[in-house]
């Protein structure tokens, strides 16, 4: 601000000299514009810089996110272990392998993944001779690893209970396994043992 003030004083002095002294009249042509210019600069310096309104930032164009199709996870089939030697007696108390087949069909229709465990004497009751797991798997149309015939002289109950525990499965049977409740307390849980039978020739299962 000092420079414009100095120029203004100097210019005004020149104007005064040009007006007072006749021989310096030409100085007025230079001093007068200089005085106006310095006055303008002085006033501008006194006012200070103008406040400029900040410009609002322009919104950036963003692409809309692509719609992602989220695939629902496939529901894992519920595993069940069929007590084959118990279920084969469900129709009129007569051991029949076809009874087990019908229960298998019913369970699959309801989304279950069944496996079957038989006592060693199941073959004798059904066909009059010993039958191993390969024979039963062929007769039932199941993979061999989903059918088990327990070793001779061994009760099937612990095999059934252990298989169900290892697979996280429930058991289809009308047996209560009371003698094994201490070792396998899950048999006392509601719904763990699935009861069933035949009513008017149709399979029924005690499912929730």
Residue 203 neighbours by CB under 8 Å, 6+ apart: 102, 103, 105, 106, 196, 197
In a domain, 32, yes or no: yes
Q: Which helix (H) or strand (E) holds 23?
A: none
Backbone angles phi, psi at 107, to 5 degrees: -65, -45
Please indicate, yes or no, if residue 24 is contained in any of the structural domains.
yes
Same domain, 87 and 163: yes
Asked if residue 43 and residue 82 are part of one domain, the reply reads no
> CB atoms < 10 A from the CB of 150, how many?
20
The verdict on 19 and 110 lying in the same domain is: no
84 and 35 within one domain: no
Are the beta carbons of 167 and 148 closer than 8 angstroms?
no
Instruction: State whether 82 and 41 are in the same domain.
Output: no
**Residue 83 falls inside a structural domain:** yes
Residues 36 and 101 in one domain: no
Predicted confidence at residue 47, as pLDDT, reads 64
pLDDT, tens digit, 9 for 90 and up, residues 145-155: 999 999 999 99
167 located within any domain: yes
User: What is the pLDDT at residue 11?
Assistant: 57
Global model pTM greater than 0.85 = no
Q: What is the pLDDT of residue 208?
A: 76
Is 160 found in the same domain as 92? Answer: yes
Burial grade of 19 (CB within 10 A; 0-12, 13-18, 19 or more): middle
Residues 145 and 184 in one domain: yes
Regarding whether 172 and 117 lie in a shared domain, the answer is yes
pLDDT at residue 172 above 60? Answer: yes
Start-to-end C-alpha separation, the chain: 93
CA neighbor of 139 nearest in space, from 110, 166, 178, 100? 100
Task: Indicate whether 84 and 176 sit together in one domain.
Answer: yes
Q: Which helix (H) or strand (E) holds 114?
A: strand 112-118
pLDDT of residue 65: 43
Q: Are residues 138 and 179 in the same domain?
A: yes
Split into its structural domains, the chain has a count of 2
- Residue 63 lies inside a defined structural domain of this protein: no
Whole-number Å distance between alpha carbons of 30 and 15: 9
Range of the domain at 176: 78-205
Q: d(Cα 11, Cα 97) in Å, to the nearest integer? A: 125
- Dist. CA 6–CA 13, nearest whole Å: 11
* Residue at 68 is within a domain: no
In a domain, residue 19? The reply is: yes
The candidate with the shortest Cα–Cα distance to 119, out of 107, 128, 132, is 132
Residue 90 lies in a domain: yes
pLDDT of residue 190: 95
pLDDT (tens digit per residue) in 14-57: 555 555 556 555 544 555 555 555 555 556 666 655 545 556 55
Looking up residue 96, the CATH number of its domain turns out to be: 3.40.50.11980
Q: What is the DSSP string of 33-97?
A: HHHHHHHHHHHHHHH-PPPPPPPPPPPPP-PPPPPP-PPPPPPPPEEEEEEHHHHTTTTTT---H
Kindly state whether residues 106 and 182 are assigned to the same domain: yes
């Amino acid at each position: 601000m000092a420079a414009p003030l100095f120029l203004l004083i100097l210019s005004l002095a020149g104007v005064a000299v040009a007006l007072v002294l006749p021989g310096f009249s030409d100085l007025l042509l230079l001093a007068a514009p200089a005085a106006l210019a310095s006055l303008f600069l002085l006033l501008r310096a006194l006012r200070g810089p103008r406040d400029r309104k900040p410009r609002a930032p322009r919104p950036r164009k963003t692409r809309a996110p692509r719609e992602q199709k989220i695939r629902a996870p496939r529901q894992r089939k519920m595993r069940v272990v069929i007590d084959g030697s118990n279920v084969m007696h469900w129709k009129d108390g007569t051991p029949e392998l076809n009874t087990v087949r019908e229960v298998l069909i019913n369970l699959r229709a309801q989304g279950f993944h069944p496996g079957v465990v038989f006592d060693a004497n199941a073959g004798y009751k059904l066909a009059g001779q010993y039958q191993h797991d390969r024979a039963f798997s062929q007769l039932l149309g199941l993979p061999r690893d989903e059918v088990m015939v327990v070793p001779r002289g061994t009760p099937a109950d612990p095999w059934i209970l252990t298989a169900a525990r290892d697979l996280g499965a429930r058991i289809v049977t009308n047996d209560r396994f009371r003698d094994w409740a201490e070792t396998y307390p899950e048999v006392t849980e509601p719904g763990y043992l699935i009861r069933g039978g035949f009513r008017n020739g149709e399979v029924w299962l005690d499912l929730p």
